[in-house]
Structure 1
Amino acid sequence: MPRVKYHKTKKDGIYWYRDSKGNKKYAFRYKYYDRFNKRREKTKSNFDSEKEAERALIEIKANILDGNDRYVENDHLTVAQWIEIWMESKKNIWRPNTYVHYLETYENHLKPLIGHYKIKKITSMTVQRELVDVLVQKGLKRVTIEGICRTLMSAINAAVSEEILPRNRCKKLDFSAAPISTRENYYTEEELAKFLECAKENDPYTRYTTLFTLAMTGMRKGELMALTWNDIDFNKKMISITKARTRSGLGPPKSDNGYRVIPMNEELAKQIKRYRTWCIQKKWSKGESLTESDYVFITTKGARPIGLTYIEDAIDYICEKYQLKRIGPHGLRHTFTSMLIAKGVPAKTVAYLLGDDINTVNKFYTHSYKNVEIEAVQLLNEVVAKVSE
């Protein structure tokens, strides 16, 4: 392919040339020094008019004068390329499960829908049209779409921090068209009591103890699956959370707040003691002995550590067998939080027990109970009574 011959125009740095079809096109060339005082050249072609090329050149000059030479150097970087660079740089910093979550979000949604866009061209309008609206059409729930967009925003904000972008232009997104999940992923006190009663009737050992522990502590499923006997102090009635088992294997808790010590109430301490006795007997029946480093929760048949889907399967089985409202494992965490908040426990205390922060607790975990709402409104009777006297 013959080399394109550039011809000077009256504008400094602007050139014209003929493309392969003989059409007149314009280009610019601009030499500059980067932040390391290294000489560089920026070239761009295929403009239809001299003014269009000049306008692009002015933008390049302005960015360099403003110290945004990295933005200029990464002019052709796509969203997909940047997210892959960003995730790779964080791979050894993020917790394993966080990396897997971000990777799945990228592979399943961000890459196929907006990965081909130049990152410098990404705006709120682009993300709304090409990502949010498409996900809405696919029927995804609002909370899911918001989570996908949070991943994108984290990547874009990182690009701003690395001076690849001058600013984040995707902050205003509209999720109002996305459907809100109407399923209540929590139990009332009465519903929880019935659920636990049925679980105990069905299997008083592993199945009941795992679900009872989740309900009484609010811990995450992965934290429960990672518990070993040396994490439980029966004398102080405390459970130490120092690790989690997830699809990525054994690792640290979800966040730094996840490292905590959770007190056991009397009933939970008694149940886990009874369960430990059962575990010792079950191990003996298999010709094994229980050690303090063993995982706490084991299967009934093989006395092996429970699997990743054990909790979901147990809930599904109990809810179907006894015709109960179905909630997810995380729903027991929501139930724990809402009950404590409803009983006046400070949000800061609840957040510590959950291994989370107060804002997350208030935004995602609290649910209003009807009986508490009625009691709250009835409190106004005292005011009305005084006025009526």
Structure 2
Amino acid sequence: MSEPSKQPIAVAVLGPGTVGREVVRLLTEHAEDLAARVGAPLELAGVYVRDVSVPREGLDSALLTSDAEALVARADVVVELMGGISPARELILAALAGGASVVTANKALLAAHGPELFEAADAAGADLYFEAAVAGAIPIVRPVRESLAGDQVERILGIVNGTTNYVLDEMTQRGLSYDVALKQAQDLGYAEADPTADVEGFDAAAKAAILASLAFHQRVSLDDVYREGISGVTAADVAAARENGQVIKLLAIAERADGAVAVRVHPALVPVSHPLAGVHGAFNAIFVEAAAAGELMFYGKGAGGVPTASAVLGDVVSVARHRASGGKGPRESAYAANPVVAIDTVFTRYSVRMNVPDRPGVLQRVAEVFAAHGVSIETVRQASGAGTAGLVISTHRALERDLAATVADLRGLDAVLEVTSVLRIEGE
């Protein structure tokens, strides 16, 4: 294997967490291979930490520095793995202004300040890569941004949060309650002590905004994404889904229709025949529908130090190659200006579970509420109890606002004792 003859490319790592340590390890252990792939040696310039006096497992103390600004100033490639908005935003902007290429896994920052960062990269003629910001090790950013650049993506349907998929999968496969499944996820390290970002859909919403921006060639912000989490999903919901040949998944959905774009995150019923229904544990999967390519699915580990570090290193190699050869990566593609619409204009399907008195005429009165809002019923399942009946009604596709108005009227109907669950149906 011949050695590259070009000057070393200095790489700075901001953040000494699980992913950062793995990136440093891979840079060190595979230095020769990486140099051959890049065409120049990759030289670790340092690792930014807040407190250099704290020992960091797997990191040489000689590499540690608490002066992030100075580290960024002497780097050719800056790898930002700090998370959060500040000071990550300021450091990335400083790196780009200085001509350094940036690799980040910071989905929250990209969803909140992506346009500013892309504009800074364009102004400096520098690369900004972020494969690890969506779905960990799964290569999805590059395929959507580059491989499908000549196609037209119509829809993206994805499981992009491993924590919620693990919780829902345990509820499905083992019959656990939500609380027990979540506690198990926390014990295994899949969920944080405060799991709000995951279970309430904030993490998935940030990723959905990034994917929608790439797929539809326009800027989609976190504020444009409708969001619901899984904390309201019950064991009864999971059991009812199983009886109907479905599973519940937290889905990130970005779709284009009638000249508009809609982006949403919420739990949904998915038929067991759909590829996403077979995604188990903490794995992620993203289903892409494109005009020419058709249906594509990307599957793999969506989190974890080693898998995410793999995606980060892939970006590092790409931007380092550009520096070694004098090339540049793809710029932001944001030429489109389709309106980003609210969820109430989206066409979808509902599954509504309710308890009603077990007496003649109740089903007719319930059906009249659906008809009053122009919502067509596809199926009705009924289970009788002691004086009450459980109804599960699945609808045909209808406007979200009409479906929501139907449910609101059902809750006020004297023939309905309780609406126990409302879930959207996707993938059919």
Shared fold by TM > 0.5?
Answer: no
Give the alignment's TM-score, normalised by structure 1: 0.24
Higher Rg of the two aligned structures: 1
